[in-house]
Structure 1
């Protein structure tokens, strides 16, 4: 759901970290997961690595929304599934994440990497927890087959575990909290009006009545 974009983005950014320029990473230089190529495409056409280092939060959100969230129809996916697919897209590309989601839907869904009405209907027809589990299992199997697994595998595995847990939490509605019943007030014993209570005659009469009513029958 689109209301989950900001939450999903913050979770993704925790996994992506800050500046990275690892020669073993085919994505090249990145800042908070944003590659220089994507920054030039959606932020600043002539951006340099120095510009990428100084990318603003607003520019980061624009890149993630346009290149990843919108590409996997995040606004139209069920709670939890949206985050699981989004994180997969950031880590391994929107096209691959979409195809794996389509595979998780089962027979009859074309795995073309484009999430349209048929895919959305198939996703909504399955319990979100099943889709999340199937997707995360397939994602981890894919990552283990990559030649860079020995270098990045430990971090990837931890990331998928965290995504699965968080996505499941997002997919599970919080139980309704029962409204506590107001305790019944104890019945008030009849009290004579203050003005009557101060009159000696009436005070004496009330004392006699109390004594009579308080007697037990034989």
Structure 2
């Protein structure tokens, strides 16, 4: 775009990131102002410098890392006002590829390509065709929240992430509509990294298969017992006893089979929602 909002966006991202953190449940590990030790090590090595604690990162190094690895990675200067900041903040929190996936999900159905985290020709064409950045930012943030809610660490950091994304949405939409955006605040837990590696696993359909199989087998057994009852009908006492067993087995088997079918529907539904949130299928 004609005017770069990198400096203003970075100021707000840094407010969200706070200072040094090293929460045992944060997959980012030791982090200073949003830069993890791993990212800092990579940066230092690329410059031929010895690695050191991320606590010692300098302002110049912070600016260089954010510029090259996050702002340039999401092509910030080529994005509409507000969208640039929203993707930038998402990139710092979950990685540039993941943040671009939020955008691709939000651009459906205009964007028909793969949700692959690559800001290529198809994604940029769909973005250019979208004339309502305000609404687009809503959808990007919705996709981001859906992703966060499917992470195993949401129980620990969910409140902070939710507050952070709400503020990102507000700031981004202010830029998109030509208003002056508010300053950003720090929310405890909101600085924790949100990576797809921490996503919840889809529920297994094995219990459903087991229950359905057992129910089907039980129905078969009840049919056999019913035939046996007919053969023993002259022996009224035995026949009556078998009849009661047939009813019990049939009811239990039907419940098992129905439960298996119901659980399979539930498991498949959860798996579909998980896949959509993680961008593994078209949203």
TM-score (norm 2): 0.58
Q: Offset at 1:15?
A: 0.4
Give unpaired runs (5+ residues) of structure 2.
181-283
Classify the secondary structure of the residue corresponding to 1:3.
coil
Deviation digits for residues 19-51 of structure 1, max 9, x if unmatched? Answer: 0111110011000000111112224553222xx
| Alignment check: 8 A CA contact 2:44 2:50 kept | no
Rounded Cα–Cα distance in structure 2 between residues aligned with 1:42 and 1:65: 12
Rounded Cα–Cα distance in structure 1 between residues aligned with 2:104 and 2:15: 27
Quote the residue 2:158 is aligned against: 153
Q: Offset at 1:124?
A: 2.1
Rounded Cα–Cα distance in structure 2 between residues aligned with 1:43 and 1:72: 22
Rounded Cα–Cα distance in structure 2 between residues aligned with 1:46 and 1:82: 33
Q: Offset at 1:129?
A: 1.0
Classify the secondary structure of the residue corresponding to 1:72.
coil
Rounded Cα–Cα distance in structure 2 between residues aligned with 1:25 and 1:154: 14
Quote the residue 1:213 is aligned against: none
TM-score (norm 1): 0.75
Give unpaired runs (5+ residues) of structure 1.
176-218
Q: Which has the higher contact order (CA 8 A, sep 6+)?
A: 2
| Equivalent residue pairs, number | 173
Rounded Cα–Cα distance in structure 2 between residues aligned with 1:142 and 1:74: 22
Q: Which sits farther off after the overlay, 124-133 or 109-118?
A: 109-118
Quote the residue 1:122 is aligned against: 126
Of residues 62, 70, 92 in structure 1, which corresponds to 2:72? 70
Of residues 145, 148, 152 in structure 2, which corresponds to 1:143? 148
| Alignment check: 8 A CA contact 1:36 1:47 kept | no
Quote the residue 2:34 is aligned against: 33
Q: Offset at 1:119?
A: 1.1
Classify the secondary structure of the residue corresponding to 1:156.
helix
Question: Equivalences for 1:20-59 in 2 at 5 Å?
Answer: 20-43=21-44, 45-49=49-53, 52-59=54-61
Rounded Cα–Cα distance in structure 2 between residues aligned with 1:116 and 1:6: 25
Moved over 3 A (4+): none
Q: Which sits farther off after the overlay, 115-124 or 30-39?
A: 115-124
| Alignment check: 8 A CA contact 1:105 1:123 kept | yes
Rounded Cα–Cα distance in structure 1 between residues aligned with 2:98 and 2:150: 14
Rounded Cα–Cα distance in structure 2 between residues aligned with 1:93 and 1:109: 20
Rounded Cα–Cα distance in structure 2 between residues aligned with 1:42 and 1:76: 25
